[in-house]
Amino acid sequence: MAEVIKDIGTLTKKDFKLDTSVKWCAGCGAHSVLSSIQSTLPETGIKKEDVVTVSGIGCSSRFPYYIDTYGFHSLHGRASAIASGIKVANPNLSVWVMTGDGDSMAIGGNHFIHIIRRNINVNIILFNNKIYGLTKGQYSPTTPKGSITKTSPEGTIENPFQPGELTMGAQGTFFARVVDSDPKMMKDVFLQAAEHKGTSVVEVLLNCVIFANEVHKDITGKDVREDHQILLKHGEPMIFGKERNKGIRYSCNRLEVVTIGENGITEEDLMVHDATNPDDSMHYNLVRMGLPEYPVAMGVIRAAESTVFESMMHEQVNHARAETKIKTVNDLLHSGNTFRIDD
Amino acid sequence: MGKNPKVVQREEVVVKFAGDSGDGMQLTGSQFSDASAFIGNDLSTFPDYPSEIRAPQGTVAGVSGFQVHIGHKEVTTPGDQADVLVAMNPAALKANMKWVKPGATIIIDIDNFDNKHYKKAGYVEDPLHDDSLDGYNVVKAPITNLTRDTVKPYGFDPKTADKTRNQFVAGMLYWLFNRDIKLGEDFLNDKFKSKPNIVKANTAVLHAGYNYAETIEALSTTFLVDPVKNKKGLFRNMTGNLATAWGLLAAAERAGLELFLGSYPITPATEILQEIAKRKHLGAVAFQAEDEIAGITSAIGASFAGRLAVTSTSGPGLALKGEALGLAVITELPLVVVNVQRGGPSTGLPTKTEQSDLMQALYGRSGESPLIVIAASTPANCFHYAFEAARLSLEHMTPVILLTDSYLANGSELWKIPNTEDLPEIHPPLVKDNDENYQPYRRDPEKMNRYWAIPGQEGLRHRIGGLEKEDVTGNVSHDPMNHQVMVTKRKEKVEKVADDIPELEVIGEQTGDLLVIGWGGTYGGLVSAVTDLQKEGVSISLAQFNYIHPLPRNTEKVLAGFKKRIVCEINMGQFVSHLRSLYQHLGFRQYNKVQGLPFFISELKAKFMSVIEEQQPGETKNS
């Protein structure tokens, strides 16, 4: 039976649900990411047919099979490259890359940095559970140093990547961080990612109940989260804590946690978050903040403007088309040096 | 001035230009080719250059060459050996003496023949004073000094002045071949349009070379090659890479699609990427990817999104693309992979030719992953086979590998320009919006292709991917019997392409003593050798394969028509192994060469005669 095509404004979360069974483990953080994406999409103003989800390989990469959009479950690490081809081929599509820390930081690291460098307008949702889940528990490029895993029985001896640092090192224009246990934060940030013109990277701190359970608990735990997270909002002072009395100050060329009301500190002394600053130095500092000295930065850390690859590509195409005398392949074949051979 | 040279009419002449990588020999070669085409000669060219951009000057390793074969008769190869060699320095002479015919004219720049240059070239004896050049007509031209004198008024530094030496050579050849020097002037005017001073200086040098040749006694005989017989119409001089790029553009137009090329620079395929990058005015997009893998995967993404998607590469790059090719096989998306073969394994001989990726093209993937493999066989027919690759890929919903090689890619020949309206229209199996019957793996009952529903289309949302899918519905399936069904259907789909390709042609009689079998880029050498022997009354025919998988329907019938069969390849015997596995009751001899060089006609003829003449017990019937 042909489906009834709904107007964009009337789409709901239900329109993006499939009746296939979702095969992630019970308690996996991916369920809440799926749910948040499904509730975000109706609010983006994008036609349902224009949404494409692309993934690589790994637990998170099963995502396209669970959402009612065009979907492409591709190769390990290659989602960003496939998404680049889709978006350049048809810039009208809204392209979402679903990837994990192994998929995008290890085997797909090259494609990850290059899509960001080009600033192709796709949204990359990076499910960071700091472990290889689908292959059952080996360390990943984001696993904290010293962690015991199946391939590091004495503890890892590698320095982990910070996805945010890598994004900015690749001249990223949008980086945000969310936690899987906060659907409101996810939806709010996913919407901003969708609106951003350029590559949006959203790192989801995600729990793997089987192989890295509670890996983020120092950040996400109910009892600590208010003191251990700071939700950054563009144009607002950097305040956090259960009592809303802690803040971030920039002093002597470094960030510093201060308490309002102590040592004469007032709200005026705190930094105001500027996500749009083209200079990413401060965004670097914010991305690197970590426990125990600092709270971990959440929300949209960077959202700067820059040129968008596929827009410029199609501008060049349109310009070339308007300027040329060679309108068809036949014109091309007969252009330049040709030789007539007669009797 | 004013000597009266003897004019000799020739059916064909081979000229080789050789010098340092920076001497402009490629330019002089192209200039000579264009002038030959302009007066109506048939032609075939082949550049021969080192993989270093500027290897140490004066060394054999740094010699760059360009060979041109022109004819009143039709020419199919750049020629085994040269009638005229231009050697700008001793290294160029040393590297090329074995490719020169006895009695050939050898023009050298005498100003570079000194002890310093001999040492660099590795000469122990002075080649001008031992007997190594006996029997050749050696023209010792002071090219460097006369050029520097000529450009003095233009105020060039010596380095810039020396860059115009190639025009002195060009001028000499205009005289030697009885050509209107105006053609040379036109070439320079066109080439250096925006640099009037450069045009003037080069034109002066061109005339100086012409006048010098006219004056000296050493050039007392000139050549006249009349326009080609049996070729009429509008032509252009095409290299294989250019023809490939244009064939893809033509296919996109005939399919009503826009072209997307995802590619990473690699010798000797890079010109395809460069050419498509220039064709935005035809709606084509060239995406220069970060690596070979992104080249093909971006193309797969573009194919999913509804473009004619192509990736171009050479052997090592094809190896990197293997995993993604498997994805294209299982998702059954159209995709053209152009593999311009070069010497391997690994980096191998990046600028030299070889046919050693056939097995990789046929089998170089995980799992059961059949796809179409076709091969172009002349520089110009790269256009046709690129078009065919796209047509078959789009209409049968499968990846296609098009094999060319360095010899075809860089070589050129005259190509009769077609009218694109005479090319077939291409009809990909697209789906209408909201088609109630659409399912991702429902198939055309005849051709067995699935249908192409494109993101953005209403009511056709679906999911594809690398996991095995359930027949018809396209849901993920690990069911054992379903896998068997899907593997079989993918195989049958590709095998059915045999209904959509032409039968194998035989050049010569359909039966006889010896069938020469080749595929792809060896055509020029093989057809010359076979037709020469046919004229001598030898019972020999040629079957040159362009469709490798699937093979033409009449393959077995053709092969069985001969007492003996010999498969000739620029590899160690990959196609012959393939044929042996398919036709176990037929015997195949093989002739293989892996020197980074094409076959020479002389060596082929000698081999074929020895095969025909050999008598072994039991060889009276089919061997």
Chain B residues with CB under 8 Å of A71 CB are: 461-465
Q: Are residues A299 and A161 in the same domain?
A: yes
Distance from the Cα of A302 to chain B's closest Cα (Å) equals: 25
Same domain, A107 and A248: no
Kindly state whether residues A183 and A302 are assigned to the same domain: yes
Q: Is residue A147 part of a domain?
A: yes
Q: How far is CA A213 from the centre of its chain?
A: 22
- Specify whether A161 is located in the same domain as A245: no
Contact A341 B290 (CB under 8 A): no
**Residue A3, domain member (yes or no):** no
Three-state DSSP class for residue B280 = helix
> Which pLDDT belongs to residue B4?
73
What is the number of domains present in chain A? Answer: 2
Q: How far apart are CA A47 and CA B332, in angstroms?
A: 26
For residue B57, the model assigns a pLDDT of: 85
Q: Cβ contact (<8 Å) for A65 and B294?
A: no
**B345 backbone φψ class: left, alpha, beta (φ>0; ψ -120 to 50):** beta
**Does residue A149 fall inside a structural domain?**
yes
Task: Check pLDDT > 80 for residue B620.
Answer: no
- Residue numbers in B near A324 (CB within 8 A): 281
What is each CA distance from B1 to B141, B149, B207, B214, in whole angstroms?
Answer: 16, 19, 13, 6
Coil, strand or helix: which one is B303? helix
The H-assigned helical ranges of B47-138 are: 90-96, 115-121
Q: In angstroms, what separates the C-alpha of A239 from chain B's closest C-alpha?
A: 41
Residue A49 sits in the same domain as residue A18: yes
Chain B neighbors of A320, CB-CB under 8 A: 280-281
Q: How confident is the model at residue B621 (pLDDT cuts 50, 70, 90)?
A: very low
Does A71 lie in the same domain as A29? yes
Per-residue pLDDT tens over the stretch A83-106: 999 999 999 999 999 999 999 999
Please tell me whether residues A182 and A65 are part of one structural domain. yes
Based on the fold, state whether residues A63 and A120 are members of the same structural domain.
yes
Residue in B232, B289, B331 closest to A341 by CB: B232
- Put simply, the answer to whether B455 touches A70 (Cβ < 8 Å) is yes
What is the least distance, in Å, from the CA of B93 to any CA of chain A? 32
Asked if B298 lies within 8 A of A81 by C-beta distance, the reply is yes
Of A249, A272, A295, the one marking the end of a domain is A272
CB neighbours of residue A276 within 10 Å: 13
Select from A2, A81, A337 the Cβ nearest to the Cβ of B436. Answer: A2
Distances (CA, A) of A341 to A336, B9, B15, B412: 16, 19, 22, 17
Chain B CB contacts of A20 under 8 Å are 475
The CATH number of the domain where A162 resides is what? 3.40.50.970
Statement to judge: residues A262 and A119 lie in one domain: no
- Residue A27 domain-assigned? yes
Residue A117 C-alpha, separation from nearest chain B C-alpha, in angstroms: 11
Mean pLDDT of chain A: 96
For residue B1, pLDDT beyond 80: no
State how far residue B268 is from chain A, nearest Cα, in angstroms. 23
ipTM confidence score = 0.97
Q: Which residues contact B283 (CB under 8 A, 6 or more apart)?
A: A317, A321, B252, B258, B259
Report yes or no: B202 at the A interface, CB cutoff 8 Å: no
What pLDDT does B617 receive? 59
Q: Convert the pLDDT of each residue in A261-296 to its tens digit.
A: 999 999 999 999 999 999 999 999 999 999 999 999
Do B516 and B338 touch, CB atoms closer than 8 A?
no
* B418 touching chain A per CB within 8 A: yes
Residue pLDDT, tens place only, B239-258: 999 999 999 999 999 999 99
Task: Specify the pLDDT at position B42.
Answer: 95
- B589-608 pLDDT tens trace: 999 999 999 999 999 999 99
pLDDT at position B48 is 82
Domain that holds residue A129: 8-235+274-312
DSSP string, B455-523: TT-TT---EEESS-B-TBT--B---HHHHHHHHHHHHHHHHGGGGGSPPPP-BS-SSEEEEEEEEGGGH
Is A261 in the same domain as A285? no
SS3 B117: helix
On average, the pLDDT of chain B sits at 94
Indicate whether A39 and A169 sit together in one domain.
yes
In a 13 Å sphere around the CA of B95, the CA atoms on its Cβ side amount to 26
Give the integer Cα–Cα distance in Å for B257 and B201.
Answer: 47
Nearest to B417 among A5, A111, A338 (CB): A338
pLDDT, tens digit, 9 for 90 and up, residues A299-334: 999 999 999 999 999 999 999 999 999 999 999 999
Chain A residues lying within 8 Å of B227, measured CB to CB: 341
More confident residue, B191 or B528: B528
Q: Which residues of B43-75 are buried (b: 16+ CB within 10 A; e: fewer)?
A: bbbbbbbbeeeebebbbbebbbbbbbbbbbebb
Chain A contact for B26, CB < 8 A? no
Report yes or no on A290 lying in a domain. Answer: yes
Tokens of B393: 């890929």
Cα angle value B162/B163/B164 (rounded, 5°): 90
Q: How many residues does chain B have?
A: 623
Cα–Cα distance measured from residue B118 to residue B59, given in angstroms and rounded to the nearest whole number: 9
- Which residues on chain A are in Cβ contact (under 8 Å) with B457? 49
Which residue would you say has higher pLDDT here, A232 or B127? A232
Residue B120 confidence (pLDDT) above 70: yes
Q: Which of A105-109, B20-24, B311-315, B489-493 has the lowest mean pLDDT?
A: B20-24
Mark yes or no for CB contact B475/A20 under 8 Å.
Answer: yes
Asked whether residue A75 is domain-assigned, the answer is: yes
What gap in Å lies between CA B591 and CA B608, rounded to an integer? 9
Domains within chain B, CATH numbers bracketed: 6-224 (3.40.920.10), 236-422 (3.40.50.970), 512-613 (3.40.50.920)
Chain A nearest CA to B237, separation (Å): 8
Cβ–Cβ below 8 Å for B234 and A334: yes
Are A164 and A218 found together in one domain?
yes
Positions of chain A with pLDDT under 70: 1-2, 343
**What is the share, in percent, of chain B residues with pLDDT greater than 90?**
87
Q: Is A2 inside a domain boundary?
A: no
Say yes or no: B522 contacts chain A, CB-CB below 8 A: no
DSSP lists the bridge partners of residue A327 as: none
Asked if residue A267 is part of any domain, the answer here is yes
* For range B526-536, the mean pLDDT: 97
- Cα–Cα dist B86/B17, whole Å: 5
User: B237: which chain A residues are within 8 Å (Cβ-Cβ)?
Assistant: 337, 339
Contact status of B379 with chain A (Cβ, < 8 Å): no
Contact B302 A88 (CB under 8 A): yes
Alpha carbon distance A215, A233 (integer Å): 26
**Chain A positions in Cβ-Cβ contact with residue B475 (cut-off 8 Å):** 20
| Rounded Cα–Cα distance for residues B168 and B179 (Å) | 15
For residue B453, the model assigns a pLDDT of 98
Residues of B in contact with A5 (CB under 8 A): 434, 458-459
Q: Is the minimum CB–CB distance between B281 and chain A shorter than 8 Å? A: yes
Residue of B nearest to A312 (CA): B285
Q: What secondary structure, in 3-state letters, does chain A show?
A: CCCCCCCHHHCCHHHHECCCCCCCCCCCCHHHHHHHHHHHHHHCCCCHHHEEEEECCCCHHHHHHHECCEEEECCCCCHHHHHHHHHHHCCCCEEEEEEEHHHHHHHCHHHHHHHHHHCCCCEEEEEECCCECCCCCECCCCCCCCCCECCECCCCCCCCCCHHHHHHHCCCCEEEEEECCCHHHHHHHHHHHHHCCCCEEEEEECCECCCECCCCHHHHCCCCHHHHEEEECCCCECEECCCCCEEEEEECCEEEEEECCCCCCCHHHCCECCCCCCCCHHHHHHHHCCCCCCCEEEEEEEECCCCCHHHHHHHHHHHHHHHCCCCCHHHHHCCCCCEEECC
